[in-house]
Amino acid sequence: MPEKSREYAVNAVLALGLLLVPLWALWAGEPFTITLATRIAILALAGVGLNIALGLGGMVSFGHAAYFGIGAYVAGILAQHAFLNTPVLGLPGSNQMLTIWPVAMLISGVMATAIGALSLRTSGIFFIMITLAFAQMVFYFAISWPAYGGEDGLPIYVRNQFPGLNTMRPWDLFLVAFGVLMVGLAFSALLRGSRFGAALMAIRQNPERAAAVGINPYGVQLTAFAISGMITGLAGALMADLTRFTSPSMMAWPMSGELIVIIILGGTGRLFGPVAGAAILVGFEVTFGGMTEHWKLWLGLVLLGAVLFARGGLIGLIAGKERHG
């Protein structure tokens, strides 16, 4: 199908562009551009996570900042304990990304399972509101926890390490983020093509029919919600390392909104939608953020345009509607 191959082409352009622009910046000596590309990759990864719940499963979570923030706090807390050489819950801290990531994914996954288990008993607007409420509870918990910075957040003095790379160098950190994003996208691609993905997409479109052919909507949706939270949590851990700071604002509700905006701008449910969406968002921030502090007004107008005239987001605009053979 020509539309299918056009989508592959868009995806390839996005992936190559995200790799080549910072490579050029490395050559031209523009470390700030590399950092921007890293930011895009990490936000895209958070979007890949949310896209599994929202895009494939139709679960409009307005609380994914919670998992993003939990991932960030895991990175910050483990790094602090490693730095101070003190134990956390009887275990040593860690400054190794390969240790921090599984812990971040595990804890965000557990939280997503707990929150999802309760939230999925509702649907529609109630689901949106209950996920928001849970995320705000996590946020208020974080700002009232003085041991880890409270409202001031938690600095990471030395970036956590990845074997064989110097993560303090922008290009090295970019490679880490880009690599993880690609793995996340590959997983997302496999998931949507699998039986589980078929069941999840079917439930979004017609839960009653899915149940009538023997699929348990609640179980499938809860599993997808947990996976979704884990990936967004992993992105949060990376973001803490990029900014070298774990801030409570990473789990505040505007972050949840930003993740939804990324999905909508890029193309809801599309594999590379979050990559396109994150690039648009960061692009706007850089282009208009320098001119006016009200740059979000312009972002809002673009979002309005996307919702009114381009429901499929950027990917949908270029590659047309998605088809499931």
Partner 1 sequence: MVEPVLTLSHLKKSFGALKATDDVSLTLIPGEIHALIGPNGAGKSTLIGQIAGKIAPDSGTITFRGRDVTQLSTAQRARLGLGRSFQISSLIPEFSARRNVMLALQSRQGHPFRFLKPVQRDRGLIAGAQAILTRVGMEGRASVPSAELSHGERRLLEIAMALALEPACFLLDEPMAGMGTEGVGKLVSFLQDLKAQAPILLVEHDMDAVFALADRITVLVYGQIIASGSVEEIRHDPRVREAYLGDPA
Residues between 120 and 149 with contacts to partner 1, criterion CB under 8 A: none
Does 191 bind partner 1 (CB under 8 A)? Our answer is yes
Does 205 bind partner 1 (CB under 8 A)? Our answer is yes
Q: Which is nearer to partner 1, 163 or 325 (CB)?
A: 325
Exactly one of 193, 283, 300, 305 binds partner 1 (CB under 8 A); that residue is: 193
β-bridge mates for residue 246, sequence order = 154
Q: Which is nearer to partner 1, 241 or 322 (CB)?
A: 322
Alpha carbon 130 to its chain centroid, in Å, reads 20
Distance (Å, whole) CA 18 – CA 33: 11
Does 238 bind partner 1 (CB under 8 A)? Our answer is no
State which amino acid sits at residue 14.
L
Q: Which is nearer to partner 1, 290 or 324 (CB)?
A: 324
Stretch that binds partner 1, among 3-11, 98-106, 212-220, 296-304 (CB under 8 A): 212-220
Q: Which is nearer to partner 1, 162 or 272 (CB)?
A: 272
Minimum CB–partner distance for residue 236 and partner 1 (Å): 22
Check if the beta carbon of residue 3 is closer than 8 Å to that of residue 319. Answer: yes
Burial letters 81-114, b for 16+ CB under 10 A, else e: bbeeeeeeeeeebbbebebbbebbbebbbebbbe
Minimum CB–partner distance for residue 50 and partner 1 (Å): 18
Q: How many CB atoms lie within 10 A of CB 183?
A: 14
Distance (Å, whole) CA 42 – CA 310: 25
Stretch that binds partner 1, among 8-16, 59-67, 174-182, 193-201 (CB under 8 A): 193-201
Burial (CB count within 10 angstroms: exposed 0-12, middle 13-18, buried 19+), residue 303: middle
- Sign of the Cα torsion 119, 124, 130, 133 reads positive
Does 324 bind partner 1 (CB under 8 A)? Our answer is yes
Stretch that binds partner 1, among 17-25, 69-77, 138-146, 200-208 (CB under 8 A): 200-208
Exactly one of 122, 144, 194, 292 binds partner 1 (CB under 8 A); that residue is: 194
Exactly one of 202, 275, 306, 319 binds partner 1 (CB under 8 A); that residue is: 202
State which amino acid sits at residue 179.
G
- Comparing CA positions, the residue from 134, 145, 143, 159 lying closest to residue 249 is 143
Q: Which is nearer to partner 1, 4 or 294 (CB)?
A: 4
What Cα–Cα distance (Å) separates residue 26 from each residue in 81, 115, 262, 277? Answer: 33, 42, 26, 24
Exactly one of 20, 32, 144, 209 binds partner 1 (CB under 8 A); that residue is: 209
- Sign of the Cα torsion 229, 231, 234, 239 reads negative
Reported as half-sphere exposure (CB side, CA atoms, 13 A), residue 35 has a value of 11
Q: Which is nearer to partner 1, 41 or 220 (CB)?
A: 220
Minimum CB–partner distance for residue 223 and partner 1 (Å): 7
**Which distant-in-sequence residues (6+ apart) come within 8 Å of 8 by Cβ?**
none
Minimum CB–partner distance for residue 238 and partner 1 (Å): 23
Does 214 bind partner 1 (CB under 8 A)? Our answer is yes
Minimum CB–partner distance for residue 121 and partner 1 (Å): 14
Residues between 161 and 190 with contacts to partner 1, criterion CB under 8 A: 190
Pairing of strands 87-88, 245-246: unpaired
Does 213 bind partner 1 (CB under 8 A)? Our answer is yes
Q: Which is nearer to partner 1, 53 or 176 (CB)?
A: 53
Q: Which residues bind partner 1 (CB under 8 A)?
A: 190-191, 193-199, 201-202, 205-206, 208-217, 220, 223, 322-325
